[in-house]
Amino acid sequence: MNDIVKFAEIVDEAARIAKAIPQFTTSAPLGVDEAYDVQARSIERRLARGESLVGVKMGLTSRAKMIQVGVDEVIWGRLTDAMRLEEGGALSKKRYVHPRIEPELAFLMKRELSGDVSAAEALSAVEAIAPAMEIIDSRYENFKFALPDVIADNSSSSGFVVGNWGRPDQDFSNLGIVMEVDGRAVQIGSTAAILGHPTRSLVAAARVAACIGGLKPGWIVLAGGATAAHPLSVGQHVRTIIQNLGSVSISIT
């Protein structure tokens, strides 16, 4: 069995049963392109089990996130329907290895978008925007990885929750963000931290998604965390408020 297939099986199984694994790059060479092949094959295994692709996540789009994990390149991953959590609902911590949560801005696509596009073209393909949160759960022991490891592991993406959709024809370039745990602010930021403007993340998403046929109507694009991610514990209630857009919440059980 070649390494791509083997790594895809290992990381898929680690995610499926929530069990930490050693990072790949300490024992085998793995490049960035191969790591995206591992990601693609591991997600194919989920699709074969009945899940469907519903979008993409952009990762490490802010300095705070790059510093938190020691990687300084924008990365991306795939979102499936099984990763979506109900707004205001519950997240069962035992389904994850060592989950963290981070505030995000979500785009809902109304038209296909693929390849090199301008910011205006990208925005014209958007149906709506919403406050969101992403559950980040590296499958690697101690949340430690190099760039190819995290890419192979679907860029740590493990779940997401989206609030109410709002109009995209508003200025969302610099909106205040507060993420609270049990009513106490744990992360504060601005949508401007997402590559200087979240639309830049959508432009990047269109470019990287060209290899999977582009972003599709109805898909969700998570623009990337604007702050560092926060560790989750049983009993917490987590809420993110984005100025003018509203809030999104989840309880940890």
Which structure tokens are listed for 249?
A: 């919440």
CA separation, residue 142 to residues 98, 138, 232 (Å): 8, 9, 15
Closest to Mg ion by CB, 134 vs 180, is 134
Q: Is 189 in the site for Mg ion (CB under 5 A)?
A: no
Distance of CA 223 to the CA centre of its chain: 8
Least separation, in Å, of the C-beta of 120 and ligand 0L1? 25
What lies within 8 Å, CB to CB, of 118 at 6+ separation is 203
The smaller minimum CB distance to ligand 0L1, of residues 18 and 110, is found at: 18
Q: Give burial (CB, 10 Å; 0-12/13-18/19+) of 72.
A: exposed
- By CB under 6 A, tell whether 83 contacts ligand 0L1: no
Binding residues for Mg ion, total number by CB under 5 A: 2
Whose Cβ is closer to ligand 0L1: residue 43's or residue 60's? Answer: 60
In eight-state DSSP terms, residue 215 is B
What are the start-end ranges of the E strands in 22-74? 53-59
Q: Given candidates 60, 108, 135, 206, which one binds ligand 0L1 under the rule CB under 6 A?
A: 60
Considering only residues 185 to 224 of the shown chain, the ones binding ligand 0L1 according to CB under 6 A are 224
Tell me if 99 contacts ligand 0L1 by CB under 6 A: no
Query: Tokens 């809902």 correspond to what residue?
Result: 108
> In a 3-state reduction of DSSP, which class is residue 157?
strand
Choose between 26 and 170: whose C-beta lies nearer to ligand 0L1: 26
List of residues contacting ligand 0L1 (CB under 6 A): 59-60, 65, 69, 134, 136, 138, 150, 155-156, 224-225, 229
